[in-house]
């Protein structure tokens, strides 16, 4: 199967340790092989936020093996939709791409209690995105 037939989404935040990791994990989990998923950060952290790992585990999704990745021009060019989450002007912009900016609280330095509502908002936004770009064939 050709990868180009699938819609592709890139999630970008500064550290690629929280919001973008949750969004990518939810999209991969909920859309399965109907969407190509990438995530990256303009200044990636060394590890995924432990509170994010714990909050996602509560939702039945394991992100403990994920590693923050650096944002590259290639990743943006290879994506149909680029969703930024607080990376500001550091995200390269290319014609023909769809850009969305999701205003989400940064989970950096927060405990699991504070991360849960962010996780739930991310999941809700992802479900809406899936309905739009890769609806189930039902």
Is 91 part of the annotated catalytic residue set? yes
- Alpha carbon 98 to chain centroid, angstroms: 15
> Among the options 31, 87, 126, 129, which is catalytic?
87
Distance CA 50, CA 63 (A): 10
Find, among 69, 82, 74, the residue nearest to 10 by Cα.
82
- Alpha carbon 39 to chain centroid, angstroms: 5
> Among the options 12, 53, 91, 134, which is catalytic?
91
> Among the options 9, 13, 17, 76, which is catalytic?
13
Is 62 part of the annotated catalytic residue set? no
Catalytic residues: 13, 87, 91
């Amino acid at each position: 199967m050709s990868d180009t037939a699938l819609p592709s989404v890139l999630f970008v935040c500064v550290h690629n340790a929280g919001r973008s990791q949750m969004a990518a994990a939810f999209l991969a989990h909920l859309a399965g092989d109907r969407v190509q998923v990438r995530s990256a950060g303009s200044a990636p952290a060394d590890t995924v936020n432990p509170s994010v790992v714990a909050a996602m585990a509560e939702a039945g999704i394991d992100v403990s093996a994920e590693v923050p990745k650096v944002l590259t021009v290639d990743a943006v060019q290879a994506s149909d939709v680029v969703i930024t989450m607080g990376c500001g002007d550091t995200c390269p912009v290319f014609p023909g791409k769809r850009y969305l900016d999701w205003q989400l609280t940064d989970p950096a330095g927060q405990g699991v209690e504070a991360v849960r509502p962010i996780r739930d908002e991310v999941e809700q936004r992802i479900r809406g995105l899936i309905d739009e770009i890769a609806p189930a064939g039902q």
